[in-house]
Amino acid sequence: MSVSIDQAFALARQEGRSAFIPFMTGGFPSPEACREIVLALDGCGADVIELGIPFSDPLADGPVIQASSKQALDQGVTPASVLALAAELSPRLKAALVVMTYYNPVLRMGLQRFAASASQAGVSGVIVPDLPPEEAGPWLEAARGAGLDTIFMAAPTTPPERLEVIRECCRGFLYYVSMTGVTGAGLNVDQELARGVARVRQGSSLPVAVGFGVAEAAQARALAGLADGVIVGSALVKRAQQAAGPGQAAEAVGALARELAQGLAQGPSV
Amino acid sequence: MPRLQPSSTEPRPWSQQPDQAGRFGAYGGRFVPETLMPALGELAAAYDEALGDPAFQAELDELLEHYAGRATPLYEARNLSANWGGARVFLKREDLTHTGAHKINNALGQVLLAKRMGKKRIIAETGAGQHGVATATAAALMGLDCVVYMGTLDMERQALNVTRMRMLGTRVEPVTSGSRSLKDAVNEALRDWVTNVRTTHYILGSVVGPHPYPRMVRDFQAVIGREARAQILARTGRLPDALMACVGAGSNAIGLFHPFLDDPVQMIGVEAAGLGLATGKHSASLSAGTPGVLHGCSLYLLQDEHGQVTEAHSIAAGLDYPGVGPEHGLLKDLGRVSYLTATDEEALEAFMELARAEGIIPALESSHALARAKDVASVLGSEAMVLVCLSGRGDKDVAQVAERLGARLEK
Ligand SMILES: Cc1ncc(COP(=O)(O)O)c(C=O)c1O
């Protein structure tokens, strides 16, 4: 059985480092290769693994995750098949497993049924980027009932009053969106980002993980001193896309994941 | 045939919509990434403030009158009535506005709002190109930068409008993802907005998207119904028996219907049945879809059993969208508005019939409403009156229709 999100962050904290949170589109580049990728990520020092349930209209995502979602959907990947993959993998993982998807597939399966299936599959938490707290009441009830952590996002544009509302709904960790943009855009780890992360960490014990645009070990290292966790998605998905074939994807993704995990373990250079 | 609504003194559940959260019953709301939530709050507040400012309304009215050419005529199509052998038929001539479709009503309203909010850059999505052209026009007028997202399929079939937008100084961004049509253009526009939200206003072109868009776009389009109501009363001394409009995402239809909602008038929206509902190649979200969430609101949606949005199809690029705005969902569920469909072929026939009978070349979108208006008019008596929204003119469709009809055009 995989660990809870709280346990995953606690372990990283004990070891004096930020948690490493890689993302992979479920069923990409093929259902079999995705299984190998998740196992490789787990073996390369992932603390929490985010598995995406592909959606036809991923409006928070840039071109890389869009293309991977389309490729997975074209191969017949469904919410149920990604949750089945999670069920198969979770007992073998050291990392905590979370699922990321858009609201419509969740609604379509039914909130209760989705929450129950995710929970039974060993998933610890769920991220729904197009579901803000204002609309989340029914989902919170279903997810809490099934013992799932409900992960919400805060953005650089989030004012203080909203941050309070988001924190109230948020469990597991708070996902801080590094910039105004979509996944996979170029990221500058600068003063503004540092201030943004500090702002959302202040006055709350909820761990904060930063994502969107983190692509290299150097960026991960720079973020290590700022955040409780660092999320890397598009860069890993791109490695899987660029691999010679699905059979080589796990190795290619694993190589980058190892660099990123090492960067995080080293922490910021002084 | 849907029944005529009886007049009643019961409470009217369609009035006073939406609520504070942008809900029209079970539909609407705000389902967007967190980055956009504060901007939507600001937009809603700026819109409320503008509504309370007589100067804003005066500036908009002036533009609508002297720039866009309102009020548009309400034309009685006697030849069409004679052909159809039934009710009197009136056409609300949105095709005669500057830029040639109802879309200008909303574009002018929103561009004034953008200016008021201090935004320097405008983005929009477009399907038929009519909303893109209207937005490009309004942006040129106000001296704002403008980018319009358009699917490459639509750029091919509405090439004239692509050229018009470019002439107006707008950058047209080709969208190659998904079905390469309106739905994908909205995705891309939303991604741009997430990225540039601090400087940019997104002029959404129909009554979809997160709150406050469905309400705001409806309000800007309601000028159609307000004028039509006053015009028909002045002309005939009574209300029409039926209102009809095509339904893409729903803005011209709600614009016509809304000011009549409390009247004893039957209302019929016409969706695109494409190649036929049974083929699955259509855009009839209300007639054949189920409730879901897309592009920031809860609405009737074409989707598969897994919640993936399915591709819409229509010969009319402006109807080629897999959802219909939240207020229509409520009006359908309440039974206040009926929704019918017309196929590509029926729309083409209606397109030709209006051209030949009245000397008016309609947009393919509007032709869908005409196709069903024929059935409705022909079963009503000659005393009855049917008012159809002619949402746009067909110049943009001339090449596409000529190619489709080929030899049939030569007689
Ligand atoms: C002429 C015309 N009519 C109708 C529509 C459909 O949009 P709506 O349903 O929002 O009125 C369009 C959209 O491009 C259009 O150009």
Q: What is the pLDDT of residue B11?
A: 67
**What residues in A contact B178, CB-CB < 8 Å?**
56-57, 70
Chain B interface with A: residues with Cβ < 8 Å = 21, 29-39, 177-178, 183, 187, 190-191, 194-198, 292-296, 301, 303, 305-310
pLDDT digits (tens, 9 = 90+) for A232-244: 999 999 999 999 9
Q: Write down the catalytic residue from A36, A50, A149, A228.
A: A50
Segments in A146-233 forming alpha helices (H):
160-169, 191-201, 217-224
Nearest to B30 among A102, A134, A181 (CB): A134
Q: Helix B54-62 and helix B103-116: axis angle, to 10°?
A: 140
- Round to whole Å and give the CA distance between B319 and B368: 9
For residue A270 the two structure tokens come to 């002084």
pLDDT digits (tens, 9 = 90+) for A153-166: 999 999 999 999 99
Q: What is the pLDDT of residue B387?
A: 98
Task: Please indicate whether, in this complex, the C-beta atoms of B309 and A56 are within 8 angstroms of each other.
Answer: yes
pLDDT digits (tens, 9 = 90+) for B79-127: 999 999 999 999 999 999 999 999 999 999 999 999 999 999 999 999 9
Task: Please indicate whether, in this complex, the C-beta atoms of B32 and A130 are within 8 angstroms of each other.
Answer: yes
Q: How long a stretch of residues is chain A?
A: 270
pLDDT > 60? residue B217? yes
Q: Which residue has the tokens 């929009």?
A: B124
Nearest to B293 among A103, A155, A157 (CB): A103
Q: Is A61 noted as a catalytic residue in this protein?
A: yes
pLDDT digits (tens, 9 = 90+) for B311-323: 999 999 999 999 9
Helix (H) or strand (E) holding A258: helix A246-266
In whole angstroms, what separates CA B29 from the centre of its chain? Answer: 20
pLDDT > 60? residue B3? no
In this prediction, residues B231-246 reach a mean pLDDT of 98
Q: What is the pLDDT of residue B150?
A: 98
Q: Does A172 touch chain B (CB under 8 A)?
A: no
- For residue B26, give the chain A residue with the closest CA: A135
In testing the pocket of ligand 1, which one of B125, B217, B319, B398 has its CB within 8 Å of the most ligand atoms? Answer: B319
Ligand 1 environment, Cβ below 6 A:
B 101, 103, 127-128, 130-131, 206, 246-253, 318-319, 363, 365-366, 391-392
In this prediction, residues A224-233 reach a mean pLDDT of 96
**What residues in A contact B33, CB-CB < 8 Å?**
59-60, 129-130, 153, 155, 177
pLDDT digits (tens, 9 = 90+) for A115-169: 999 999 999 999 999 999 999 999 999 999 999 999 999 999 999 999 999 999 9
In this prediction, residues B152-171 reach a mean pLDDT of 95
Q: What is the pLDDT of residue B407?
A: 72
Task: Please indicate whether, in this complex, the C-beta atoms of B292 and A159 are within 8 angstroms of each other.
Answer: no
Burial of A201 from C-beta contacts in 10 A (0-12 / 13-18 / 19+): middle
Question: Which of B362, B306, B294 minimizes the C-alpha distance to B128?
Answer: B362
In this prediction, residues B70-84 reach a mean pLDDT of 97
pLDDT digits (tens, 9 = 90+) for A33-56: 999 999 999 999 999 999 999 999
Q: Is B358 noted as a catalytic residue in this protein?
A: no
In whole angstroms, what separates CA B229 from the centre of its chain? Answer: 18
pLDDT > 70? residue B253? yes
Model ipTM over 0.85? yes
pLDDT band at B12 (very low <50, low <70, confident <90, very high): confident
Task: List, in order of start, the domains of chain A with CATH numbers.
Answer: 5-265 (3.20.20.70)
3-state SS class at A46: coil
Distant-in-sequence, close-in-space partners of B364: CB < 8 Å, separation ≥ 6: B315, B316, B317, B318, B347, B348, B351, B394, B397, B400, B401
Q: What is the pLDDT of residue B1?
A: 42
Q: How long a stretch of residues is chain B?
A: 411
- State the best of A71, A100, A114, A157 to mutate against chain B, taking most chain B CBs within 10 Å: A157
pLDDT digits (tens, 9 = 90+) for B321-364: 999 999 999 999 999 999 999 999 999 999 999 999 999 999 99
For residue A107 the two structure tokens come to 């609604």
pLDDT band at B64 (very low <50, low <70, confident <90, very high): very high
How are beta strands B323-324 and B297-301 bridged, if at all? Answer: antiparallel
pLDDT band at B292 (very low <50, low <70, confident <90, very high): very high
Query: Which amino acid is present at B342?
Result: A
pLDDT > 60? residue A1? no
Average pLDDT, whole number, for chain B? 95
Please give the interface size between A and B, counted as residue pairs whose CB atoms are below 8 Å apart.
115
For B33, phi and psi rounded to 5 degrees?
A: -60, 150
Q: How close does chain B come to A151, measured CA to CA in Å? A: 12
3-state SS class at B343: strand
CA B248 to ligand 1 center in whole angstroms: 6
**What residues in A contact B303, CB-CB < 8 Å?**
104, 108
For residue A24 the two structure tokens come to 């992979």
DSSP assigned state of A31: H
Q: What is the pLDDT of residue B178?
A: 82
pLDDT band at B8 (very low <50, low <70, confident <90, very high): low
**What residues in B contact A73, CB-CB < 8 Å?**
308
Q: Name which residue sits closest to atom 14 of ligand 1, judged by CA.
A: B318
In whole angstroms, what separates CA A248 from the centre of its chain? Answer: 23
Q: What is the pLDDT of residue A78?
A: 98
Q: What is the pLDDT of residue B2?
A: 46
